Structure 1
Amino acid sequence: MNSSHDGNGGNGGNGGNGTTEERPRVRGRRPAHGEPLLDRAFRVLACFGPEAPELSLTALAARAGLPKATALRIARQLTEQGALERTDAGHYTIGLRLLEIASVAPRGHGLRTIALPYLQDLWHATGRHVQLVVREGLECVLVERLSARDAPRVMYRVGGRMPLHATAPGLVLLAFAPARVQEDFLAADRPAGGDEPIGTAETEALRSRLAAIRRDRYAVFSRPQWDTLITGVAAPVLDRNHSTIAAVSVITPSEQSQPAAHVPAVVAVARVITRAMATGNRRPLPS
């Protein structure tokens, strides 16, 4: 795959009004001028999700905001590289090559490989949802979740993005993020993943909450989810440089237990994973 431009030439632009858009515009049936092929390829890949694991070429082009011919050319190249696969019906799905590449991501499957045995211990001890979450910019990403059979339904899927300020692991990751990240987040009119803007009073309350999390080294956060109030308990995981790279959390229905009772177990497991990350020791999974 090269980074050429489909012959459009010209300069990238926003219509000369000085504004930016979340997704480059399609003028007529041609891609936005100057948009690199790699950017368009990622737009194609980002079209897939739990609600759309398989897409026809027409649907793929529409979701990506690309002319059908351009979408076809990119889809063919991605298929040749194994990033996409074709179904018997001729539709496209995400290919296993992406999983193979992602498996070596140190903050994804690499972290997961070391943490998983300890997450299983926490899962057996609590009988609740256990999550492993990392920060990505001003959001966080769920990289692993273990779920009990009778645990309540939760919103976020593995690989899905979560708000920093409205989840227990997100608050931990925000509290221990670099100061510039915290200021960027607090300065945002509407934080990523949030439903409402954060006003001055809410900002000051959030600053106080983050300070308390840094002091206590864990977070407890409750929020309504569908018809249930759920509470998350989370603690930070550090790397060998003592930087926070992840958060471990337990999610429980608030009315069924005392969520704070899970704090010692969550903190202990986070510390064990921190030690394992520092030494690179990987405890074998039970057979």
Structure 2
Amino acid sequence: MSVSHVRSVDRALEILTCFSSAHPRLTLTELAQGVGLSKATTLRIAGSLLAYGVLRRDEDGSYRLGTRLLELAPVAAKGSPVASVTERIVARLAERTGETVLAAEIDWRDRSLVIIQRRDAEHVLGVLSPVGRRSLIANGCIGKAALASLPRDQVVELMPALRLPRRTDRSITDTDAFLAEIDRARERGYSVESGEFAAGVAGASVVVMDKGQAAGAVAVIAPVSRCGTRRLTAIGELVRECVSHVAAGR
């Protein structure tokens, strides 16, 4: 069945998607250039978005995303197809580890993942992965877990399209080394990282399956200072166990 589009709605959504963590504040000219519209048309659409609170305007005339989106984010997160499953897993892992726990939904259409739940530990953890943050599947523990759910030949095919950013001096950016890391994660049933996504932060992650495909992932992240190799392995095995038990209805 074909899906019809309302052009004005498409344009409004295109304006909203111009914003990103790298560009949280945009001028009217930048918005118009981003969506390929005239400044007059962009201004009219932005006016409607301002009225609904999904955009806000600073004193200098530049635009930011509006706080109305913060109200909608938790609603959208709970609407995730894996939200009910990951919610139980996140609660168990937070209780059993005392560490920060993240849950993400995987979107294979554009090879991205979005954080849908976060349960913080009592200590402050220096990694910014708020609910609603979307990023491309890459060389963090959640990205590794997602890729490890695929057969190796599919991962090899995907490699040219993947970005392996050097976030820290421990990030794995070499293709062969990264493939070997994915192979190890597939064998173990969980992925790990230590100081690769964020300096001083370690993590372990396992995917949540739905209809034979990885639909989401859960990760426990903790400071490297108290998460050496032995504890990271134990956490990885615990995440795998919790995911398996919840998936089996236990």
Q: TM-score, normalised by structure 1?
A: 0.64
Mapped to 2, the partners of 1:71 and 1:219 lie a distance apart of: 44
Matched, 1:245 2:215: yes
Does the 8 A contact of 1:83 with 1:95 survive in 2? yes
Partner AA of 1:112 in structure 2: A
Aligned to 1:150: 123
Aligned to 1:31: none
Q: Structure 1 unaligned runs (5+)?
A: 5-36, 282-287
How far off its partner does 1:214 sit? Answer: 1.8
- Identity rate, percent: 26
Q: Deviations over 1:192-223 (max 9, x none)?
A: 36249xxxx93222222222222221111122
Mapped to 2, the partners of 1:220 and 1:161 lie a distance apart of: 20
Structural mapping, 1:1-287, within 5 Å: 3-4=6-7, 39-49=10-20, 60-61=31-32, 66-78=37-49, 82=52, 84=54, 93=66, 95=68, 99=73, 102=76, 105=79, 108=80, 110-136=81-107, 137-177=110-150, 182-188=155-161, 191-192=162-163, 194-195=165-166, 202-224=174-196, 228-239=199-210, 241-257=211-227, 258-275=231-248
Q: Structure 2 unaligned runs (5+)?
A: 168-172
How far off its partner does 1:183 sit? Answer: 3.5
Mapped to 1, the partners of 2:120 and 2:145 lie a distance apart of: 21
RMSD: 3.8
Q: Deviations over 1:57-109 (max 9, x none)?
A: 567546656432121232245467x583668989662645954983574xx3x
Does the 8 A contact of 2:73 with 2:131 survive in 1? no
Mapped to 1, the partners of 2:181 and 2:190 lie a distance apart of: 11
Residue 103 of structure 2 aligns to a residue whose secondary structure is strand
Q: TM-score, normalised by structure 2?
A: 0.73
The structure that has the greater radius of gyration is 1
Q: Give the paired residue count.
A: 233
Partner AA of 1:207 in structure 2: L
Residue 255 of structure 1 aligns to a residue whose secondary structure is helix
In structure 2, do the counterparts of structure 1 residues 101 and 219 end up closer, same or farther at CA, with 3 Å as the change threshold? closer
Could you say which structure has the higher helix fraction?
A: 2
